[in-house]
Structure 1
Amino acid sequence: MAHVIVAASPIYGHFTPMRAVAADLVRRGHRVTVTTGSVFREAAEATGARFVPLRGGADFDGGALPELFPEMADIPPGPEALGFGLRHLFVDPMPDQHATLQALIAEAGGEPVAVVHETGFTGAWPVLHGAPGVRPAAVIGVGVVPLTISSEDTAPFGLGLPPDSSPEGRERNRAANKAVREQVFGSTQEHTVEVLRSTGATDTPPFLLDGMARVPDRFLQLSIASVDYPRGDLPDSVRYVGALPSGAREQGPLPGWWDEVKRAKRVVVVSQGTAANTDFTELVQPALDALADLDALVVATLGRTAELDRVPANARVAEFIPYDLLLPHTDVLVSNGGYGGVQQALGHGVPMVLAGLTEDKTEVTARIAWTGAAVNLATQRPEPADVRRAVETVLADPSYRGSATALAAEYEDHDPFEAIERTVTELLSAQAAQQH
């Protein structure tokens, strides 16, 4: 039995995968402590793990970001918005995250502890860069967003550009990555160094976006290699372990029209996920308008309680339907590109039409389109005519379904829960062997 601390930023898309990881480790008999924001106490305790809230400013409510950071509304999607989020959501909480981890490790009384954290949790950085404290026996990162690490084979993260490993492409990529590090994210990196030094750290950290994958002893990306760009210089510590299964939310009763889904000749699902769903005029409403006379049943899942302005006769609306029930009946998913949702779709062999630019979605939508399993509209607010054209293209061209089906087979070859537990036990055993 291992002693594991599962740590997550208190943001829904970062905590939810780690909740599933914690629940699985508990089921496998390990002693698990979950630390995240108090807002997720009930969900964390439901895993069977012990819950300890993060300290100080790290204990914020990721669902209240517009109130916490009203200035975010004035920053357009792109590098500036990404830098703002990195500084305030993932770097500023570092000292309090570090203090929380150190208190939990001290409670262990010398027993080896593995820290398993999601991409954006930086609380292990200080002690790994020379700050006073006890180093965990193992630090394992879990990739809940697209892999952010830079490479000479890829353009900088956030630009949504395809890979290019030709000699000319690598030269351009090296120059572009250097420019982005120094010019676009220069102030963010300086801020990271300052915050890290405030904890007593003495070593210089890597570039923040690189460090998210490079700093942990092992980094387990919740995806498959074929849904990411090939990188010839990827560190050996990075592994692809497949996507987590759906079903994180409690399932309520299915809507009364569920039998229509099972009987429909074609089903198109429309969703803005569970995070970027405050304004349904971005994608859900344009998609419903666009598909109003399509010979298909259109199902919109809203992710929250809401009323839409217009619901065509061929459309049905629900707050939530588990993807593991809905996707087997789905011919096309129209999505804003949430990382977990698109991988669940691919795991069921469902092709997509994607339109999203916020958070990490510029990268998600570009990478899925690069696989051949989606049409990327590359906008936050698509025109209804563009949505209609893209859906008809995916329905008519079997190559999209073929690409998605091939990717589904690759997902089937992975068991992320098994990979995470195996990594925990492997690294703890290696550390114990070194001590003896």
Structure 2
Amino acid sequence: MRLFFSAGAGYSRIAPLLPLAVAARDRGHDVVFATGSGAVEHARASGLPTIGVDGQGDEAAARQAWGRYSPAELAVMSPDEKLAYVVTVMAETGAGSRVDGMLAAIREHRPDLVVAGAAEFAAPAAAAIAGLPYVVHGIGPPKPAAIMAGGWQALDPIVRRFGLDRFPEHETVPYLDIWPEVLRPKETTWDHPVSLPIRPEGILPAPGNRPPVLEGLRHGKTVYVTAGTSHNTRPGVLETMLSALYGEGVDVIATIGRDGDRDRFGAQPAEVRIENFLPQQQILPHVDAVVCHAGSGTVLGSLAHGVPLVVSPLATDQFDMAAQVAGAGAGVLADPGSPTRSGIRDAVRTVLTDPSYRDSAVSLAARIAAMPDPASVLDQLAEYANHTPARGGDGG
């Protein structure tokens, strides 16, 4: 089987797709990975043939789309309304500017199946134009249909340029779901009703040496602090999370991102250690709690290791993920939108002293470990590709 993977530029968008792509390659399938040219090294590091597909859009039109609402209008929107707006503009600007390059790449490689990362709208649009089947691979929690509707509708005028009346219905397109089903809110109409669970192999516990940063710690408890790769430079966020733990009798390991400036944090107490980057699989087995912004990679990685969380969401679907963590009893929601020292401090005290949070996280870790591994999903994808008729395009 020839597989064409595509993900948005950025490690957090690429990493969730890599286990399936690597498993496909290792089983002898022909695999190519596409992303923005500035992010190709993330997939190439896994030994995957990777191409860069960049946008050729109108920058003025993109600025206009992102400026559709004034700051005052955005300020009164709910998190769901803001996320729906972001999704729509991502489709308009991302797919609109990249569809020609994506279509050229797909026609060159002639895949049997396109695997598109969630919210990577250019690849589904190009697959539809070429008449090829596609599936969507989750990069975080699944999204309600109402959130994603504007994104799919934005593809209609894009595919119309290539002779299609509209973007084909996607209700029967499989969604490869890396998120534990137990976390999904009940009575929600999901964007992709056909869900195939797939274990998020890249964040599971793995054997490894104890990181040197942990040597010589003085306290019996260790807290890991991170704001991921999207909000790590946001002023005041990491500073507040760190200062909330001063004098709490815990050791603190913080990662500030490869682009983070250590000088920004100044002198720190002896129990606080700041690193630009540490692989989560190395640090999570050795910590007692995680303080974060409720980013999908950090949340899923922490739960896969059975570590309870303190979540202080900052944007988009982080509010949903934080609510899911709290609802499952695997962590405490603190200060949505803007962390405070008192809120973070009190939440950390709670998860460290109440064993029920660790118990819930451990239970979720067992559920994640029991999900179907990527290699086992390949047979289902092959069957889908073989039995799915052309979707109205030109056949490649």
Residues 148-163 of structure 1: pairs in structure 2 closer than 5 A? 148-150=143-145
1:290 is matched with which residue: 244, 248, 251?
A: 244
Residues in 2 aligned to 1:59 and 1:42: alpha-carbon distance in whole angstroms:
26
Q: Aligned residue for 1:412? A: 369
CA shift for structure 1 position 324: 1.3
Which amino acid in the other structure matches residue 175 of structure 2?
F
Percent identity between the two aligned chains? 25
Question: Is residue 178–residue 198 contact of structure 2 (8 Å, CA) maintained in 1?
Answer: yes
- Residue 225 in 1 paired to residue 221 in 2? no
Q: Distance in 1 between matches of 2:211 and 2:70?
A: 35
TM (norm. structure 1) is: 0.75
Mean alpha-carbon deviation: is it higher for 269-278 or for 25-34? 25-34
User: Comparing both chains, which one has the higher relative contact order based on Cα–Cα distances under 8 Å and sequence gaps of 6 or more?
Assistant: 2
CA distance in 1, matches of 2:290, 2:388: 45
- Cα deviation, 1:207-257, whole Å, max 9, x if unaligned, reads xxxx6xx36x2111111111222347666521222323239xxx9x98654
Are the equivalent residues in 2 in contact too, given 1:54–1:96 (CA < 8 A)?
no
Q: For residues 349 and 80 of structure 1, do their structure 2 counterparts lie closer, same or farther at Cα, with a shift above 3 Å needed?
A: same
Give, in whole Å, the separation in 1 of the partners of 2:109 and 2:336: 49
Q: Secondary structure at the match of 2:282?
A: helix
Alignment-derived partner of residue 40 in structure 2: 41
| Superposition map of 1:154-193 within 5 A | 191-193=154-156
The 10-residue stretch of structure 1 (237-246 or 141-150) with the greater mean CA deviation from structure 2: 237-246
Counterpart of 1:134 in structure 2 is: 130
Cα separation, 1, equivalents of 2:159 and 2:349: 51
Stretches of structure 2 lacking an aligned partner (at least 5 in a row):
390-396
Residue pairs, 1:397-436, within 5 angstroms: 397-431=354-388
CA contact (8 A) 1:254 1:321 kept: no
Cα deviations across residues 295-322 of structure 1 (Å, max 9, x unaligned)? 2111111123312135223211111122
2:163: which partner in 1? 200
Determine whether 1:279 maps to 2:215.
Answer: no
| Matches of 2:334 and 2:254, distance apart in 1 | 19
Counterpart of 2:352 in 1: which secondary structure? helix
The CA distance in 2 between the partners of 1:395 and 1:427, in whole Å, is 46
Deviation readout 1:301-350 (Å, 9 max, x if unpaired): 11233121352232111111221121111111111011011111011110
Cα pair 2:222 2:253 within 8 Å, conserved: yes
Give the deviation of 1:259 after TM superposition.
Answer: 1.7
Q: Provide the C-alpha distance between the structure 2 equivalents of 1:72 and 1:352, rounded to a whole number of angstroms.
A: 34
Q: CA deviation at 1:125?
A: 4.1
How far is 1:119 from its partner? Answer: 0.7
Deviations 1:260-319 (A, max 9, x none): 35x75211111101111112512x211221211112111111123312135223211111
8 A contact 1:142–1:220 mirrored in 2:
yes
- Against the structure 1 CA distance between its residues 83 and 310, is the aligned structure 2 distance closer, same or farther, given a 3 Å change threshold? farther
Q: Distance in 2 between matches of 1:14 and 1:72?
A: 26
Residue 362 of structure 1 aligns to a residue whose secondary structure is helix
Change (3 A) 1:48 1:343: same
Q: How does 1:191-270 map to 2 (within 5 A)?
A: 191-203=154-166, 214=171, 217-231=173-187, 237-246=194-203, 256-260=212-216, 264-270=219-225
Q: Secondary structure at the match of 2:252?
A: strand
| Contact 1:222–1:416, Cα closer than 8 Å, also in 2 | no
Give the corresponding residue for 2:100: 99
Q: Letter of the aligned partner of 1:225 in structure 2?
A: E
Unaligned runs of 5+ in 1: 151-155, 159-180
Aligned to 1:389: 346
Q: CA deviation at 1:49?
A: 2.8
Query: Which residue matches 1:173?
Result: none
- Please name the residue that 1:174 is paired with: none
In 1, the alpha carbon distance for the partners of 2:167 and 2:44 equals: 37
Contact 1:293–1:314 at 8 Å: present in 2 too? no
Aligned equivalents of 2:69 and 2:275: distance in 1?
Answer: 29
Retained in 2: the 8 A contact 1:224–1:411? Answer: yes
CA distance in 1, matches of 2:241, 2:379: 43
Aligned residues of 2:311 and 2:333 also touching (Cα < 8 A): yes
The equivalent of 1:123 in structure 2 is 122
Aligned to 2:7: 8
Alpha-carbon distance in structure 1 between the residues aligned to 2:58 and 2:50: 13
Q: Counterpart in 1 of 2:88? A: 87
Bigger mean CA deviation after superposition, 264-273 or 304-313: 304-313
C-alpha distance 25-225 of structure 1, shift in aligned 2 (>3 A): same
Match of 1:330 in 2: 287
Report how far residue 366 of structure 1 moved.
0.9
Instruction: State the alpha-carbon separation in 1 of the partners of residues 274 and 70 from structure 2.
Output: 28
AA partner of residue 281 (structure 1): G
Tell me the matched-pair count. 376
- For residues 351 and 72 of structure 1, do their structure 2 counterparts lie closer, same or farther at Cα, with a shift above 3 Å needed? farther
Partner of 2:261, secondary structure, is coil
The offset of 1:405, in angstroms, is 0.9
Letter in 1 for 2:332: V
Go from structure 1 to structure 2 and tell me whether the alpha carbon gap of 1:429 and 1:79 turns closer, same or farther (over 3 Å shift): closer
C-alpha spacing 1:120/1:58, structure 2 compared with 1 (3 Å): farther
Q: Is the 8 A contact 1:6 1:35 kept in 2?
A: yes
TM-aligned CA deviation for residue 423 of structure 1: 2.9
Q: Check if 1:314 corresponds to 2:271.
A: yes
2:320 is aligned to 363
Q: Are the aligned partners of 1:3 and 1:114 in contact in 2 as well (CA < 8 Å)?
A: yes
**Counterpart contact for 1:127–1:201, Cα < 8 Å:** no
Greater displacement, 192-201 / 379-388: 192-201
Give the superposition deviation at 1:420.
Answer: 3.9
